[in-house]
Amino acid sequence: MARATSSVTSHRRHRKILSAAKGYRGARRRLVKAAHEAVMHAGQYAYRHRRERKRDIRRLWIVRINAAARLAGMPYSIFMAGLRKAGVGLDRRMLAEMAVNDSAAFAALVEKAKTA
């Protein structure tokens, strides 16, 4: 009986790794072992940064809300506490969007937070 080799499977696996390493420099693109390490690290970075991106975006929303609220004469923490007391159920994403694109509506929210 002929000896069974895993050449087709390993070539396929190698080709998959090398195609994932397209755009890398030097040996990290050409050699399977180096490419495999590079692709594994890239996957770890991508996994971690998908979670970090959510934190960064929230931080950006808070900065935008704070800037717009301070222009209206109120710091971020007091503004958010006033909105909570007034029962305004807008999240930070919507508040940041309003702060950038609809300053009149944001000013109305600041007034509502002041009265609450």
For residue 47, the domain's CATH number is 1.10.1900.20
Does 92 map to a domain? yes
As a whole-number percent, the residues of the chain with pLDDT over 70 amount to: 100
Residue 66 falls inside a structural domain: yes
Structural domain of 78 = 10-115
1 domain-assigned: no
Q: Residue 36: inside a domain, yes or no?
A: yes
Report DSSP letters for 46-88, one per residue: HHHHHHHHHHHHHHHHHHHHHHHHHHTT--HHHHHHHHHHHT-
CA-CA distance, 112 to 83, in Å (whole number)? 7
pTM equals 0.79
pLDDT, tens digit, 9 for 90 and up, residues 65-89? 999 999 999 999 999 999 999 999 9
Whole-number Å distance between alpha carbons of 59 and 76: 12
* 82 in a structural domain: yes
Look at residue 5 and tell me if it is in a domain: no
Per-residue pLDDT tens digits for 18-30 = 999 999 999 999 9
Which token pair is 11?
Answer: 């070539």
**Structural domain includes residue 47:** yes
Is 4 among the domain residues?
no
Query: How far, in Å, CA of 116 to CA of 114, rounded?
Result: 6
Q: How many domains are contained in the chain?
A: 1
